[in-house]
Amino acid sequence: MVAKKSVKFIAVLVLFLTSVSSFAKDPVQNDNHHGAGEQIDSPEEIKEYIAHHLKDSHDFHLYTNNKTGTHVSFPLPVIVWTSEGLRIFMSSEFHHDDSGSVIVEKDGVKLTKIHSKIYELESGATQVNFDDEHHATNASRVLDFSITKSVFGMLLAGLLMLLGFGALAKGYKKGAIPTGFGRVLEPLVIYVRDEIARPNIGEKKYRKFMGFLLTVFFFIWILNLLGLTPLGFNVTGQIAVTVCLAVFTMIIYLFSGSKDFWQHTLWMPGVPVVLRPILAVIELVGFVLIKPFSLLVRLFANMTAGHFVVMSLIALMITMKEAFGPVASTGMSLVLALFISVIEILVAFLQAFIFTMLSSLFIGMAVEEHDHH
Amino acid sequence: MDQLLNDFSPGLFFMQAIILLILIVLMRKFAWKPILESLQSREDGIKDALESAEKARLEMQNLQADNKKLLNEAKAERDTLLKEARQMKDKMIEEAKGEAEVQANKMIEQAQAAIESEKKAAMAELKGQVSGLALEIAEKVVRKELSSKDKQLELVESMLTEKSLN
């Protein structure tokens, strides 16, 4: 029932997405400096558009009216740590510019935005100079703590989680059986507990890690699903986000490792003494680098690829228009995008599941106590 | 790889870490802990309920077995009672029969004895009357016969001959 509903929901979303994207325009293409009115229709432009949307952005861009050249978006706060200290202002001051041509001056610090990254100009410089590879030569990146679109997405997901599961938790005060939306959430919590945490970590120790595992599972899942909406969040496709999640898992399993775990990792019993240091290096590299890396890359690559494929299929409508005509290309794009979107719903869950599953597996490895033979 | 490193935003990493940390703490306090505790207590409750149901079922079974046993015992007792009653009845009938027979025999005997004695008394009376009658008749006859001397002699004579002939 729920699955059916969400399929319908996504079908509506995809329709909405396709209709919006046919009018939407790349802000870069459409800002004051580049002139207005051109539609994105060449493959290069589409590629750039997709690449741009896979990235984090400093404002929440909804769509652009190509007739008037106005952007429908709302700005998000920019919080940066510059050489002169903290600077806070709204992203609307960049006027949707993403090429480094708009320079915002804040208390003696000149800031500009190039490809969704904020740069600080060297003192004395009035405009950004680029080298042949389009790297800024007289500007350096600043520490950017802005409430970007991704941060906004994370806050939204966190709020949704607090509201949903807070309501579920409160519901238990009224009776042992949840009502309303809690009925959907409860089986999911039980699923994470009984299918992910318990079998991998073990009956005795799983409770301690439930807070992390449940939070991460629902956090990733909700963000993955938000990414499928036309709002176009790509939070779990930001490498910094997946790195952070993986680092959390790593810290947890390294700090909760049992004596047995460290003994087996650093000085493997039952192996010739000569081999032990080599094994220790391999094991350590495995636990500190390879395992977190596999976690972060899997999530990042899957989500980014998913977004890329969905957007490319929607773009088929434009790229295939010449070859097949508007009706056929739109139909093809619609069917394919719908198909991939349905798969992406599955992937959204699957990636959250795999991340949580592997996290609990690694934690399980670390807390396991071996029988001494 | 270069592109990936370029895309990595330390600020976003930092924000994500803080958000995740706060979220974990908040969710633990306001959601996961009460939810998991409620789930645990509910599961324990269900387990207890199931166990007690099983216990009740066993008790019921025992009770039923007891009932059956009691019923069987009652049936057996009833049977023995019935049997005894039947035996008693038979015995009583038998005894009553015997007693009645004895009584009847006795009555018959008494009746017979009474009849015998009545008969004897009647016979005796009859005999007395008959002998009286006979004597009377004989007296009358003798008186008539022996009214003459000749006849007396004749009688003696005949008697003597009779004697001698013998």
- Nearest-by-Cβ selection for A154 from B14, B16, B27: B16
Instruction: Please check whether residues A180 and A326 belong to one and the same domain.
Output: yes
pLDDT at residue number A372: 57
* Residue B102 contacts A, CB cutoff 8 Å: no
Whether B2 shows a pLDDT value over 80: the answer reads no
Supply A137's token pair: 């030569």
Last residue of a domain, one of A108, A127, A146: A146
- A238/B4 touch (CB, cutoff 8 Å), yes or no: no
- Residue A54 is predicted with a pLDDT of 82
Domain boundary (A114, A146, A178) is at A146
Residues of B within 8 A of A207 (CB-CB) are 36
* Structural domain boundaries, residue A188: 150-367
Could A165 and B30 be called an inter-chain contact, meaning their C-beta atoms sit closer than 8 Å? yes
Same domain, A134 and A156: no
Note the pLDDT tens digit of each residue in A67-94.
776 777 778 888 888 888 888 888 888 8
Both A165 and A82 in one domain: the answer is: no
Report residue A154 as tokens.
Answer: 């994370």
Contacts A240 to B, Cβ<8 Å: 7-10, 12-13, 16
A271: in domain: yes
CA distance B38 to chain A (A): 6
Same domain, A204 and A184: yes
Where a domain ends, among A87, A117, A146? A146
* Predicted local confidence at residue A266, as pLDDT: 81
Is the confidence at residue B126, as pLDDT, over 50? yes
Lowest-confidence segment of A140-154, A261-275, B74-88 by average pLDDT: A261-275
Distance CA B43, CA A72 (A): 51
On chain A, the residues whose CB falls within 8 A of the CB of B45 are 176
Q: How many CB atoms lie within 10 A of CB A365?
A: 19
Smallest Cβ distance to B42: which of A170, A176, A239?
Answer: A176
Put simply, the answer to whether A56 touches B32 (Cβ < 8 Å) is no
Q: A349 and A204, same structural domain?
A: yes
pLDDT, tens digit, for every residue of A270-311? 778 888 888 888 888 988 899 999 999 999 999 989 888 988
Does A51 reside within a domain?
no
Average pLDDT, chain B: 88
Judge if A225 and A135 occupy the same domain.
Answer: no
**Interface mutation vs chain A, best among B2, B22, B35, B43, most A CBs within 10 Å:** B35
Flag whether A11 is in a domain.
Answer: no
Under 8 Å CB pairs connecting chains A and B tally to 122
User: How close does chain A come to B18, measured CA to CA in Å?
Assistant: 10
CB A349 within 8 A of CB A221: yes
**How many domains are contained in chain A?**
2
Residue A356 is predicted with a pLDDT of: 94
Contact flag A189-B35 (C-beta cutoff 8 Å): yes
Same domain, A198 and A313: yes
Whether residues A187 and A141 share a domain: the answer is no
Q: Mutate which of B8, B9, B13 to disrupt the A interface (most A C-beta within 10 Å)?
A: B9
B78 to chain A, closest Cα gap in Å: 54
Long-range pairs of B38-44 with CB within 8 A, sequence gap ≥ 24: B38/A169, B38/A172, B38/A176, B39/A186, B39/A189, B39/A190, B39/A193, B41/A176, B42/A176, B42/A177
CA distance A184 to A24: 35
Residue A327 domain-assigned (yes or no): yes
CA angle A234, A140, A51 (to 5 degrees): 25
Q: Are residues A255 and A220 in the same domain?
A: yes
Tell me if B36 sits within 8 A of A207, measured CB to CB.
Answer: yes
Question: Rounded mean pLDDT of A196-205?
Answer: 88
Answer whether residue A60 is part of any domain.
no
Alpha carbon of A164: minimum distance to chain B alpha carbons (Å): 9
**How does residue A1 score in pLDDT terms, banded at 50, 70 and 90?**
very low
In a domain, A14, yes or no: no
User: What pLDDT, on the 0 to 100 scale, is given for residue A26?
Assistant: 40
Whether residues A235 and A325 share a domain: the answer is yes
- Hey, are the CB atoms on B35 and A169 less than 8 Å from each other? yes
Whose structure tokens read 């910094």?
A240
A228 is a domain residue: yes
Domain match, A185 and A309 both = yes
Nearest CA in chain B to A156: B19
Q: Are residues A128 and A169 in the same domain?
A: no
pLDDT digits (tens, 9 = 90+) for A207-254: 889 999 999 999 999 999 998 888 878 888 888 899 999 999 999 988
Q: How far apart are CA A310 and CA A237, in angstroms?
A: 14
- Within the 36-75 window of chain B, which residues sit less than 8 Å (CB to CB) from chain A? 36, 38-39, 41-42, 45
Domain assignment present for residue A324? The answer is: yes
Q: What is the pLDDT of residue B89?
A: 92
User: How much is the pLDDT for A245?
Assistant: 93
- A238 contacts in chain B (CB < 8 Å): 7, 9, 12
